[in-house]
Amino acid sequence: MKNKRKTISKEFIVKGKGLHGGKDSFLILKPNFNSTGVVFINTDNGEKIILSPSAVCALERGTVIGEGGFKVSTVEHLMSALFAFEIDDVEIEIKGNEVPAMDGSAKFFGEMLNKIPIIEKEEESDYFNLETPIEMESGGSYYKMEKSDCFKIECVYENNHPLIKRQVLELEINKENYLREIAPARTFGFDYEIEYLKKNNLALGGTLDNAVVLTKDSVMNKEGLRFKDEFVRHKILDLLGDLKIGGLRFKEIKITAIRPSHKANYDLVKLVTARSVYGKTK
């Protein structure tokens, strides 16, 4: 159950507006040859945030991490791509305080990581060692983790909306499946929520170019959906991004996630990282 830690071989730039803050951000992802995990660096003053469960400071409509006064919002889609590509260590210099929304999915991040050669280091990566199955409930979400022949996720997302109803997807998580089946799935919201979100300073940068907006019985986006079950696919994308917070890789484990949310995903991550102390992952 050992594999080498990985980083990217060269830097790449991400720029654009944040979904919630609506402001421009500029990021440079750089190789990290120290085994310090995912490190955000504020280009204005050098402040750092090391991604970990204790760095999480808000989970409303996205995952916000922070250290002191330095906060970065909506990290989950970029983290999802890093998780899928098994990038353990990377430095992310950021001018701004939110990861750009791009097209609302992880397509850009996945495609960039797919182009850049990945470097394997001497040091071993940390895996989650599941000894006995885990079941967990949190605020209406349910999770189960059990041994499997590969790392896979089965996700169930339910909503009364006629385009959603009950969407179920089970998928082996590897780079190829991620790029094709998960990374292009966009974030979504409902038209009746928009006023409430904007009043609460959320989704200020939200447009039909970076989110799917559902009306009573359809979608506002002219191009329609990228997949009939784009919603459950995006839930898997978010779950992978939240799992990245724990800094562990997964192998030969099946996670069943029923109605997952960022808050509940975070509870799962805390459970997993607490257990890994006993799991001899190092």
Which residue, 42 or 187, is less far from Zn ion as judged by CB?
Answer: 187
Least separation in angstroms between CB 129 and Zn ion:
28
Q: Are strands 253-258 and 152-159 parallel, antiparallel or unpaired?
A: parallel
Cβ proximity to Zn ion: between 187 and 281 the closer is 187
CB 76, min distance to Zn ion, A:
6
- Determine how many CB atoms are found less than 10 A away from the CB of residue 43: 13
Q: What is the closest distance, in whole angstroms, from the C-beta atom of residue 187 to Zn ion in the complex?
A: 4
Site size for Zn ion, by CB under 5 A?
2
Report the side by side order of strands in the sheet with 253-258: 134-138, 141-147, 253-258, 152-159, 165-172
- Minimum CB separation of residue 103 from Zn ion in Å reads 12
Could you identify the residue written with the tokens 């997952």? Answer: 260
238 near Zn ion, rule: CB under 5 A: yes
Active site residue 161: no
- Side chain identity, residue 273: T
CB of residue 237 to Zn ion, shortest distance in Å? 6
Q: Considering only residues 201 through 220, tell me which ones interact with Zn ion, judged by CB under 5 A.
A: none
Check binding of 141 to Zn ion (CB under 5 A): no
Q: Which stretch binds Zn ion (CB under 5 A): 4-12, 107-115, 205-213, 232-240?
A: 232-240
Number of H helices, E strands in the chain: 6, 17
Region binding Zn ion by CB under 5 A among candidate stretches 87-95, 136-144, 184-192, 195-203: 184-192
Question: Would you mind telling me the total number of residues written for the chain in this entry?
Answer: 282
Q: H-type helices in 95-229, by residue range? A: 107-115, 175-177, 194-199
Between 5 and 61, CB nearer to Zn ion: 61
**Exposed/middle/buried for residue 102 (C-beta within 10 Å: 0-12, 13-18, 19+):** buried
Q: Is 187 in the site for Zn ion (CB under 5 A)?
A: yes
Q: Is the dihedral of CA 254, 259, 261, 263 positive or negative?
A: negative
**Annotated active-site residue in 20, 77, 234, 262:** 262
User: Which residues would be at the binding site for Zn ion (CB under 5 A)?
Assistant: 187, 238
Active site residues: 262
